[in-house]
Structure 1
Amino acid sequence: MILRFTLPFHTAWGQRLVVCGSVPTLGSWNLAQALDLHYHPASGFWSQEISLPDDQAGTVEYKFILLDERSGNEDWEWGANRVVHYDGRQLGRIVLEDYWRPAAQPENELHTAAFTQALMRRPTPAKASTTRPAARVADSVMRFQLAAPRVDSDHQLCVLGSDPALGAWDARKAVLLSDQDYPTWVAEVALEHPERTTQYKYGIWDPRDKKILHLEAGDDRIISASADRKTLRVRADEHFRYPTGNWRGAGVALPVFALRSRRGLGVGEFPDLKLLVDWAASTGLKMVQILPINDTTATHTWVDSYPYAAISVFALHPQYLNLDEIAELAEPADRQELERQRDEFNGRNFVDYEPVMNAKWHFIKKLYQQEKGKFLADPEFKTFREQQQSWLVAYAAFSALRDRFGTADFSQWPSEFRTPQRLDELTAETQADFDEFGLHFFTQFHLDKQLRDAVDYARQSGVVMKGDLPIGIYRHSADAWTQPELYHMDQQAGAPPDDFSTTGQNWRFPTYNWERMAEDGYTWWKQRMSHLARYFDALRIDHILGFFRIWEMPGHSVEGLLGHFSPALPLHRHEIEQRIGWFDHGRLCEPYIRWHILNDIFKEQAEAVRQEFLDETTPGIFRLKEHLRTQRQIEEVFGKKIAAEPSNAEHYSWLRTGLYQLVNEVLFVPAAEADFYHPRITLPKTYAFRELDDHTRHRLHDLYNDFFYRRHEDFWRDQGMVKLPAVRYATNMLICGEDLGMVPESVPGVMKALGILGLNIQRMPADPKVEFGHPGVAPYLSVVSPGSHDMSTVRGWWEEDPARTQRFFENTLGHWGEGAPYHCEPWVAREVTVQHLHSPAMWAVFPLQDLLAMSPALRRANPLDEQINVPSNPTHFWKYRLHLNLEDLVQEIGFNHDVQQLLISSGRQRVY
């Protein structure tokens, strides 16, 4: 039999089309041996035929590729492989009438799991209607095949056209398509007049009322006349043409630890997500966004409350485990104690991390011993262990050894455990100390079970669960223990100075060894993404700029100012000399410390600082003493001072900050290669810069701007296009990137090309020329939000700077000439919410605190109690907890109806 490929496509000179696929005649997925298509100028079609066995049935997978002989580019069409099933015993010919599937189309993101598994899920497959049996081999059969994920779960697609077999434009006789292969809809029709040109359109069909709700917009689609017999024509159409514009939805953001329910134990737990989903569904919100949920247990102190320092990028945090869903405690005294502690911890208005975790572990250990026999014999657990073997055994070993040796810093463990060896043997059930490891198998199994149950509940409710992928890994983690070659353990990751921190952020995570990761095709990233897809249909990638370049600091830095972008193109000393006219290592690269600077920073303490911490090299010129040359050395010295005199902690902290500032007083920081340097970030703000002569300042400023804003654009674009596709296409999740901060110009283009949604925060606009962004100008493939977990809430921000608030009130909310209220009144919060809801962005996501701000009865009394994180404080205690029980919030009928009406009026509840 004959398989004919056809594709309408207009190429430029030097371009050609090929088809590559699974059979030898299509190259067996070897592009060099792909099938060349021939161009027919009269019709504008490219086509070619191959032969398949007449006496066999089978499947062919294929894709079209655009080759450019001028540039050497190989552009594969977007999407999954095309699939055609053939049976040479039934048909003599299949004609594939395809259309090119371009990348970077907004409609492509509707094919992600967020839409296909949650928002538009298909509860039961819909049947197609056929006008005549397609199996009659003498007929010429037309297969209508439309890729259309955006169809409400209660609706179906239909096709209506001029041929009597398509209803002759009588809407009551439309042909229904099956969603058996959703998001592709299919129906086979034997046209009554295939020799005539047929016009047709697709429509949205309501099976309850048996009518077409929407007929697609635009001109009629056309089927050319054909006299072929015993032929199957596969019309693979792309994109239903919706007359109502783009799909838009809204969501709510809240960390799991902040959820409050009556059944929890002082902290949010995975089953509580069902309550939040119930509330979201009742209001019309379509997404629940959470923070990272990985295990961060490194010290068993409140420091572990930081959710971005996971000891495993795969394991889940035990704090989210609901004890009751495992089993009832057998001992009445234990049950009574659990209830007592539940009442105690749930009575607090914050997450009291240490006592809560102590209580959790106490009862988890009891449940483990109680359920151990049944658990180890459970086929579900055996399947879980087998499927998660690649990380689970190492994590259990790491966690047990952490507790055995009292530290997560594996470099401090006995030598035989500093590198993982024979872990299967170490954690075997036959070992006498197995319970040390079995406890963690038990905990992870039940966490996984509870989370997947909550996610499935969200999907069935038509709500998307959106997770969060931290950009870094923790230095003392199972990941670093098992695969240290994937990371630069002697370096630190962070962020350059921004609105969150004027001295930059130092997360103290090792940076990635991208070269090593590339050697196996980024397997570690693919595993990580695949694991996240086990739980989520959408994902926020934290600090997506890190895939282009990360802010990297040497191990001796505490603050972020002495870092540099990595990878980067540092300057050779000769280039610096050429650009500014001279090069003096001492003046440019060593701390610039003068007596008047000491007076500026330390005031009346300047002389005492000079005597204790500085050496005078020449009159009025100083350098830090040898044991205080780096910030890490200073941190260690002052750590001891504070420990010895805690009553003077505030004064010592002030002195330490001042000494850090002296270390930062350089204009260039050395690169890894000898004689190469990076300009120090925010260099124009230093004393060292301000006290140069005018001519040098001007030249150095030009060099600085060129280095940070022009030199690396193509270089960083290439970095992003190498790394991100492997991560982006490892799963079918909807991907959103947190792209705030110092954003290279190339980033939005790369994200758009890969279908990654950007983030638009009103008070952190991407355009440096405007003070406040406007949600109304956000692109469709983006998320708009009034804030994030790293910011104060709208109410808190409103009170921080009255002059700025007044400008926002007038220029952004449009209250010209009016005085802004001192507090963010509920009607103001409502205006901010409405402004975001009416944005053209695909998603508007709101911190729950900002939605509650619209209700005088429900919002918290003090807005300062609502902030989740303070990025400028590296030792912030993450303890925020919702002040309302979710069970009660679901019952707030008036408020929930109000939110629902706002969503309806903004069009964010409509499917079409």
Structure 2
Amino acid sequence: MKFTFRIQYHTVWGEDIRIILQDNETCAIPLSTRDGSNWEGSCNYPPAEDKDTIFYRYGVFRDDVCIRKELGVIPHTIYIGNAQQHRYIIDDCWRDLPAENYRYSSAFNEPHPAGRPNRLSNSIGSCITFRALCPNLHAEGRVLGIIGSCNALGNWEYCRPIRMNEVSPNVWQLTLDASTLKSPFEYKFVAINEKTGAVEEWETRPNRLFQIQPLQRGETYLPAETEVFFNRPAHRIAGTAIPVFSLRSKGSCGTGDFGDLKTFISWAEKTGQHAVQILPINDTVMTGTWMDSYPYNSISIYAFHPMYIDLRQLPALKDEAEMKEFEKQRKILNSLSLMDYEQVNKLKRKYLQSVFKQEGERILEEPEYKAFFAQNEEWLIPYAAFSCLRDHYGTADFRQWGKDSVYHASQVKQMAMPESPFYPAMAFYYFLQYELHVQLSDACTYGREKGVIVKGDIPIGISRNSVEAWVEPYYFNMNGQAGAPPDAFSTNGQNWGLPTYNWQVMEKDGYQWWKRRFQKMAEYFTAYRIDHILGFFRIWEIPYHSVHGLLGQFVPSLPMDKDEIQSFGLAFDKEMMTRPYISDDLLDSMFGTHAHEIRRTFLRRMRNGLYALRPEFNTQRKVQAYFAEKEDEESKEICEKLYSLISNVLFIADRDNPEMYHPRIGVQNEAVFQQLSVKEQEAFNRLYNHYYYERHNEFWYHEAMKKMPVLLQATPMLVCGEDLGMVPNCVPWVMDQLQILSLEIQRMPKKAGLEFGKLEEYPYLSVCTIGTHDMTTLRGWWKEDAEQTERFYHNELHYWGKAPEDAPGWLCEEVIRRHLQCPSMLCILTWQDWTSMNEAIRNPNIDAERINVPANPRHYWRWRMHITLEELMSLTEFNQHIRQMIEESERGY
């Protein structure tokens, strides 16, 4: 069977176009050209007996390496027709993402079984197959059709269109006998009522013209795939962001669970909302203490946290005394205003162990469980083994596990055998993950049925004490720590303590690790938030010897050598510029009466009159260890000042090449910068601005475009990126090209020179919100800076007089209304901000509503709703008011 492909695509010298069949770049089929624009090539492809479909993409190759290929989830598709067709002639055009790619996502498409292409009789001599992309017609009770100027296409009669077949979601095809289509002819695509067969809508564009040379017997011609557009309003919807652990119901056990999530989805639907956004829900159990409450530091990228199991959906305990005692403790924990992480998990684990002892043998024999295990055993068995060994050794730090510190697949396989002493404990973890899977699937399916997008959250990092770090250490740089440069929320930067990715290794297998991660999310969610999407461009990597984030460097990046630094007019002195600048004046001003003690204990004097840190104190980690047992405030203050002293450098040596350098971030406020001459400061600032704002844009663009298209093709979920912080200019380029929704926050404007973002200027492809889980609520922000809120009150809200000290309900409602009216596709507000507009309902304690304080690495994540879901559902007037506001803003589904 012969296939001839033709495409117009302009290339430059050294590039060629190839056909990538079934996403396999290693055996791509080269095309040829005479002018660098018109490409053609043929191949013989014997289809397998059980496969009558060919998927392919076009790619641009240089030196046998694919440097670019078509984007998007939907590849080109050819269905093999009747047996007499032995040659296929395919005209194509390069296709990246559809113009409105979000319409093709699972967020706006109901899942339904795909049909089959129509097949003609083997007696047909030649065929023409029309191909088109058109999203979501099925949900509207319509199908795509063709109508045209010849009899075979209905002679433009609205009652005689030809139906097409939806051969895969949103992909339509129709094969016709070429002899019945007299070229040239005109035609249009139309939307047909699925039941009546009548044309309901015509595509609004000039008639399409079909003209081709006569086909030979046995040939099938496929004109270029086309996008079909009908007049549909853009989706603009509203929703709520809330952590699952923050949900509260009368029957929950001191924390929110997946049953509560389902109820919350009901509330969203009741109020006219069509999105619920949650925080990460992965298992974070490492220490068994409240320190595990941080949801972005999980032990598995697949396993969910056992605390999210809704115990009400499990069989009740047959031991009445145990059940009575559990119920007593449950009520105590559920009455607390904040989550008691340790006691909640201790109680739920005890209950789950009793249920497993009572029902586990039966559940593990159910066909549904066996299907789940078979589908997930690749990650489930290592996760269960890791959890058992963590419990056995009393730590999640697998480096302390002795003979088990290095992962061996054969050993884990032995642990999973029924006769193994570890098997009962491992089976318990299988049981937990199965119940979590069932309950989350049920909640998310319910969301789809109610037209509510359930939006998950993918953390950028993994824990260094995680299953993945144990099983697949080659994917990570364990000597680095991921974090973020300093910003308004954290002047010392953020050190998350997470290992960074070894992208070079990940690239070799086509980023399979990330694909599997995204595909697991797609089993439940129809949209997701990529936490810190900047990490796919570059990550702020902090050396392991640092505590603060100031001594980091972007990875990957382009460091400078001595000659380049000097080309900016700055004489480079390695000794003075890469070691901490410590003078007597600096010590006296920083430490006051403690300066002499600091000199004696931590420093040694050098010949030039400056000081150097003693070897036993020359890193922040060493200083941290020295002060580890000192809990008094004075010691803590001195420790922090020593951290600052250590980071008082102009340049940082590159992690891979010590003769290359990076200017230290935010160093202009440090003493080492102040001791430079005015001329040297100006030269350094030129270098600094070039390095951080100009040098890397093209480089980081290509870094992101190597990874992101591959990952986005892995699932049909709607993609939203958290693009806050120190955002390079190339980030919007990539997000626009890939149609990733940006995050817009009025108090964090992206346009330089603005104190507040302009809501009316937000891009459509964005998520707007008042604040995130890392920020104060609207009411909390209102109290932070009286002068700033005064300016907001006058300049943004356009009110006269003095701004109220606390944000009253009417003012909060005004801010919410303005956000609902902005152009953003999604307006997702925190639950605290929704309730802020009703003074009778909102929490009287403003400070108690904050979820996280990013500047505090030991923050306790424990905020809960102050009213129950049952009470929330009964607030008829409040709920109707939200619904009315959403309807008035035209944020329907």
Report the TM-score when normalising by structure 2.
0.90
* Contact preservation (8 Å) 1:127, 1:177: no
Q: CA deviation at 1:514?
A: 2.2
After TM superposition, the structure 1 = structure 2 runs for residues 564-713 of structure 1, keeping only pairs within 5 Å, are 564-577=553-566, 579-603=568-592, 605-607=594-596, 609-610=598-599, 613-617=602-606, 621-642=610-631, 649-672=632-655, 673-713=657-697
1:525 aligns with 2:524: no
Does the 8 Å CA contact 1:17/1:65 hold for their aligned counterparts?
A: no
**Which of 76, 86, 95 matches 1:82?**
76
Residue 469 of structure 1 corresponds to: 458
Find out whether 1:337 has 2:325 as its counterpart.
yes
1-structure distance, mates of 2:38, 2:448 = 42
CA distance in 2, matches of 1:68, 1:578: 37
Q: Which residue of 2 aligns with 1:837?
A: 820
Which residue identity lines up with residue 572 of structure 1 in the other structure?
A: D
Instruction: Please tell me whether residue 479 in structure 1 is matched to residue 479 in structure 2.
Output: no
Deviation of the 1:630 alpha carbon: 1.8
Flag structure 2 segments of 5+ consecutive residues without an equivalent.
none
Give the whole-Å Cα distance in 2 for the aligned partners of 1:752 and 1:490: 34
- 1:124-523 equivalent positions in 2, closer than 5 A: 145-151=131-137, 153-159=139-145, 160-162=147-149, 171=158, 175-179=162-166, 181-186=168-173, 194-195=181-182, 198-205=185-192, 214-224=201-211, 237-420=225-408, 422-523=411-512
Distance 1:526 1:53 in 2: 29
Supply the distance in 2 between the matched residues of 1:685 and 1:596 (Cα, whole angstroms).
16
The CA deviation string for residues 445-465 of structure 1, in whole angstroms up to 9 with x for no partner, is: 211222222222222222222
Q: How far apart are the structure 2 equivalents of 1:793 and 1:879?
A: 15
Q: Distance in 2 between matches of 1:496 and 1:423?
A: 40
User: Which range moved further: 398-407 or 503-512?
Assistant: 398-407
The percent identity for this pair of structures is: 36
Work out the CA distance in 1 between the residues paired with 2:694 and 2:841: 49
- The whole-number CA distance in structure 1 between the counterparts of 2:637 and 2:823 is 47
Query: Partner letter of residue 904 of structure 1?
Result: E
CA–CA distance in structure 1, aligned partners of residues 652 and 38 of structure 2: 58
Task: Please give the alpha-carbon distance, in whole angstroms, between the structure 2 residues aligned to 1:127 and 1:850.
Answer: 48
Q: Which residue does 1:112 correspond to in 2?
A: 105
**718, 732, 745: which one aligns with 1:761:** 745
- 1:105 and 1:180 map into 2 onto residues whose CA distance is 17
Code of the aligned partner of 1:299: T
- 2: distance between equivalents of 1:836 and 1:94? 52
1:850 counterpart (833, 838, 860):
833
| CA deviation after TM superposition for structure 1 residue 20, in Å | 2.9
State the Cα distance separating 1:792 from its structure 2 match: 1.0
Cα–Cα, structure 1 residues 599 and 340, in superposed 2: closer, same or farther, change >3 Å? same
Question: Is the contact made by 1:14 and 1:69 (CA closer than 8 Å) also made in structure 2?
Answer: no
How much has 1:38 moved relative to structure 2? 9.2
SS at match of 2:744: strand
In 2 relative to 1, CA 526–241 (structure 1 residues): closer, same or farther, beyond 3 Å?
A: closer
- Whether the 8 Å CA contact 1:63–1:77 is kept in 2: the answer is no
Q: Give me the whole-angstrom Cα distance separating, in 2, the residues matched to 1:371 and 1:635.
A: 49
Are the equivalent residues in 2 in contact too, given 1:486–1:512 (CA < 8 A)? yes
Pairwise CA distance, 1:32: 6.0
Q: Offset at 1:745?
A: 1.6
Q: Which of 739, 747, 768 matches 2:723?
A: 739
Taking structure 1 as reference, are residues 193 and 879 closer, same or farther at Cα in structure 2, changes over 3 Å only?
Answer: same
Distance 1:414 1:2, change over 3 A: closer
- Do the aligned partners of 1:165 and 1:191 also contact (CA within 8 Å) in 2? no
CA distance in 1, matches of 2:15, 2:571: 54
CA 1:854–1:102: 2 relative to 1, 3 Å: farther
Q: Which moved more, 1:626-635 or 1:9-18?
A: 9-18
Cα distance change of structure 1 residues 216 and 657 upon mapping to structure 2, 3 Å threshold: same
Deviates more, 1:352-361 or 1:507-516: 507-516
The answer to whether the aligner puts 1:751 opposite 2:735 as a matched pair is yes
The Cα of 1:367 is off from its aligned counterpart by 1.2
SS in 1 for 2:550: coil
Change in CA separation of 1:416 and 1:275 when aligned onto 2, cut-off 3 Å = closer
SS at match of 2:100: helix
| Alignment partner, residue 526 of structure 2 | 537
Question: Does the residue aligned with 2:78 lie in a helix, a strand or coil?
Answer: strand
Please list every run of 5 or more consecutive structure 1 residues that lacks an aligned counterpart in the other structure: 643-648
Distance 2:589 2:693 in 1: 31
Query: What's the CA shift for 1:309?
Result: 0.8
Alignment correspondent of 1:877 = 860
Superposition deviation, residue 430 in structure 1:
0.7
Deviates more, 1:782-791 or 1:900-909: 900-909
State the 1:553 CA deviation. 1.4
**Aligned partners of 2:760, 2:364: CA distance in 1, in Å?**
55
Q: Shift of the alpha carbon at 1:320? A: 0.6
Letter in 1 for 2:367: P
Contact 2:19–2:59 (CA under 8 A) maintained in structure 1: no
Distance change >3 Å, CA 405–CA 620, structure 1 → 2: same
Q: Which letter maps to 2:290?
A: W
How much has 1:793 moved relative to structure 2?
A: 1.4
Residue 768 of structure 2 contacts residue 824 of structure 2 at CA under 8 Å; is this kept in 1? yes
Shift in Å, 1:748: 1.9
802-811 vs 611-620, greater mean Cα deviation: 611-620
**Which amino acid letter does the alignment assign opposite residue 828 of structure 1?**
L
Question: Which amino acid in structure 2 is aligned with residue 20 of structure 1?
Answer: I
More deviation, 850-859/314-323: 850-859
2:333 match: secondary structure: helix
Report the secondary structure of 2:771's partner residue.
Answer: coil
Residue type of the alignment partner of 1:734: L
**Shift in Å, 1:577:** 4.5
Q: C-alpha separation between the residues in 2 aligned to 1:488 and 1:92? A: 52
Q: Distance in 1 between matches of 2:415 and 2:45?
A: 55
Q: Distance in 1 between matches of 2:382 and 2:45?
A: 50
Which residue does the alignment assign to 2:540? 551
Paired residues of 2:83 and 2:122 also in contact (CA < 8 A): no
Give yes or no for the alignment of 1:721 onto 2:701. Answer: no
Question: What per-residue deviation string (whole Å, max 9, x for no partner) do you get for residues 215-273 of structure 1?
Answer: 43232334459877988765665333233453333332111111222232111111222
Assess, with a 3 A threshold, how the Cα gap between structure 1 residues 167 and 799 changes in structure 2: closer, same or farther.
farther
Alpha-carbon separation, structure 2, partners of 1:57 and 1:406? 52
Map Cα deviations across residues 35-56 of structure 1 (whole Å, 9 max, x no partner): 55899x9xx99888889999x9
Secondary structure of the equivalent of 1:718?
A: helix
Judging changes above 3 Å, is the alpha-carbon distance between structure 1 residues 395 and 52 closer, same or farther for their aligned structure 2 residues? Answer: closer
Q: Using a 3 Å threshold, how does the CA distance of structure 1 residues 34 and 417 change in structure 2: closer, same or farther?
A: closer
Corresponding letter in the other structure for 2:446? Y
How much does 1:90 deviate? 6.1
Is contact 1:251-1:844 (8 Å) kept? yes
Please, which moves more after superposition, 652-661 or 410-419? 410-419
**Residue 100 (structure 2) pairs with residue 103 (structure 1):** no
Q: Say if 2:57 and 2:76, in contact at 8 Å, map to a contact too.
A: no
1:687 is matched by which residue type in structure 2? A
Structure 1's 775 and 901: CA in aligned 2 closer, same or farther, altered over 3 A?
same
RMSD: 3.7
Structure 1 residue 506: Cα displacement:
0.5
